[in-house]
Structure 1
Amino acid sequence: MKMSLIHSAALAVRVPVQNGHSVEMMHSLIGTCANAEDLFLDLIDYLLSTYGGNSRYASLEECLSVGGSAWMAVKDQKGLQRRVDESAQQSYESAASPSDQAGEELKQAWVNAFSRNPDASDAWDHAIKAVEAVLIPIVVPQQDKAQLGHVVGSLRSQGKRWKFILPGVQMNHDVQPLVSMLDALWPNPDRHANGNQRQPTLEEAQAAVHLAVSIVQWARGNGLMLR
């Protein structure tokens, strides 16, 4: 490990190391981190993000998976990601794979929700933006400076114009279930303007991101159509 990388890694995980031979510094850094699980994971996350290659990700992920770790090595995100249900992971990867705005927003949402350094509010914001990217062109394409609130309002007031992919209890493909999902997603609790503003929990933000993944997939697959 190069001297500059040792110094930067030590700074990243906030572990003091004495200047000396690079091998001794490396052993000191790894030894300190090995005694604290979170520090060790932070060190791995940093090294992957700055020094990881394809083979390193593959071999590390195999070790983490076999060992039953709650974390997985993900090359696209350049670091460690909290392990989720395999079907949920596949759904996210499918929804985020197209090179469009919704895909990019989902990637940002996912990183902020499941990385070693999560940001619940930012994850929720990007989840909303991903849904806006697919629904605004469908529901309110002519709306100036449209937001998800405009989509919700239009679907609620003109629901009979729309057909949702799920038939529902009445088997009439009512759009109300989708409206309820959008109500749950919008707005981010951190952006409330009615005095109830608060920081969302990470668990809430992760649920919002999973919901956004489903809505984006539905929208891309003609899950919402005019009757």
Structure 2
Amino acid sequence: MSQQFEWNGVDALKVNLDDDQVIVLLDYLVKRCDDDNFSRKFIPVLDDYMRDCGMAWKVGTRRGFAGLERRVPEGVQIAAEAVMNDSDHAGEVLTGAWRAAFGVSPDPSKAYGLAIKAVETAAKPQVSPKDDVATLGKMRGVLRDQKWGLPLAQQDDEGLILREMVSALWTGQTDRHGSDGPLVTPTQEQAETAIMLAVPLVHWFSSGAASRP
């Protein structure tokens, strides 16, 4: 539909559009909205309209680029956006993962892979700064051996919570080369779960909250 709009202009709208085509068209218009003045007026109005109509979609602006995204609980959205905006390159990678999971054309495999890469990007300078090829899988061993943990009032068993979250993210990627068992594309639910694991992990490693004793 977006290609038809680009070729034929408003004449492309003189057809009956189903709900999915409307969403694709709105996403296209938001992404192609290059005029800053128009964007400041159009995007908030569109976002308010979708919210007031109870739509499952919202306008998400990530690092200066807008697009439609599926809604998540407001508290989750606020926390995720704070991490994406404040975590330098890891936040940029996490932004790509979020868009791949919650955008109009979701790609669960890409979302899951970028979620892992975001955590690797945040953790590597702290956990394995001298290992140029450190993966999250390799860093799991470092976290275990060096007893990395979180600053909790009652410290978990030698960083068990941190390690288990990292392990769950790493071992859950079913389409990674070299993983145990057959390569299976992650489901949408698995990709979204990976994102929700990655958000706090990126924050903890980027902020220094995750540390050695």
Query: Normalised by the shorter chain, which TM-score bucket?
Result: 0.7 to 0.9
Provide the rounded CA distance (Å) in 1 between the counterparts of 2:93 and 2:30.
23
> Please, which moves more after superposition, 73-82 or 131-140?
73-82
Compared with structure 1, are the counterparts of its residues 148 and 10 closer, same or farther at alpha carbon in structure 2 (3 Å cutoff)?
A: same
Indicate the SS of the match to 1:163.
coil
Aligned match of 1:4: none
Q: Show CA shifts across 1:196-220 (max 9, x none).
A: 3110001110110111011111223
Indicate the SS of the match to 2:59.
strand
2:78 equivalent to 1:96: no
Indicate the SS of the match to 1:78.
strand
Aligned match of 1:179: 163
Instruction: Name the amino acid aligned to 2:109.
Output: S
Instruction: Name the amino acid aligned to 2:181.
Output: G
TM-score (norm 2): 0.87
Cα deviation, residue 135, structure 1: 1.1
- On the 8 A contact 1:97/1:103 being kept in 2, the answer is yes
Instruction: Name the amino acid aligned to 2:49.
Output: C
Instruction: Name the amino acid aligned to 1:59.
Output: V
Aligned match of 2:174: 189
Instruction: Name the amino acid aligned to 2:159.
Output: V
TM-score (norm 1): 0.82
Which of 144, 149, 153 is the matching residue for 1:156?
144
Instruction: Name the amino acid aligned to 2:33.
Output: Y
5+ long unaligned stretches in structure 2: none
Q: Show CA shifts across 1:56-99 (max 9, x none).
A: 11000000111111000123342210000111111111001136
Compared with structure 1, are the counterparts of its residues 27 and 154 closer, same or farther at alpha carbon in structure 2 (3 Å cutoff)?
A: closer
Aligned match of 1:46: 28
2:193 equivalent to 1:207: yes
Indicate the SS of the match to 2:106.
coil
The structure having more radius of gyration, on CA atoms, is 1
Which of 67, 77, 81 is the matching residue for 2:53?
67
- RMSD between superposed Cα atoms in Å: 2.3
Aligned identity (percent) is 35
Compared with structure 1, are the counterparts of its residues 221 and 100 closer, same or farther at alpha carbon in structure 2 (3 Å cutoff)?
A: closer
Indicate the SS of the match to 1:51.
coil
Provide the rounded CA distance (Å) in 1 between the counterparts of 2:45 and 2:156.
50
2:132 equivalent to 1:147: no
Indicate the SS of the match to 2:31.
helix
Instruction: Name the amino acid aligned to 1:135.
Output: A
Provide the rounded CA distance (Å) in 2 between the counterparts of 1:212 and 1:133.
11
Q: Report which structure shows greater RCO (CA 8 Å, sep ≥6).
A: 2
- On the 8 A contact 1:106/1:127 being kept in 2, the answer is yes
Provide the rounded CA distance (Å) in 1 between the counterparts of 2:5 and 2:182.
38
Cα deviation, residue 11, structure 1: 6.4
5+ long unaligned stretches in structure 1: 1-6
Compared with structure 1, are the counterparts of its residues 80 and 177 closer, same or farther at alpha carbon in structure 2 (3 Å cutoff)?
A: same
Cα deviation, residue 103, structure 1: 0.9
Cα deviation, residue 102, structure 1: 0.3
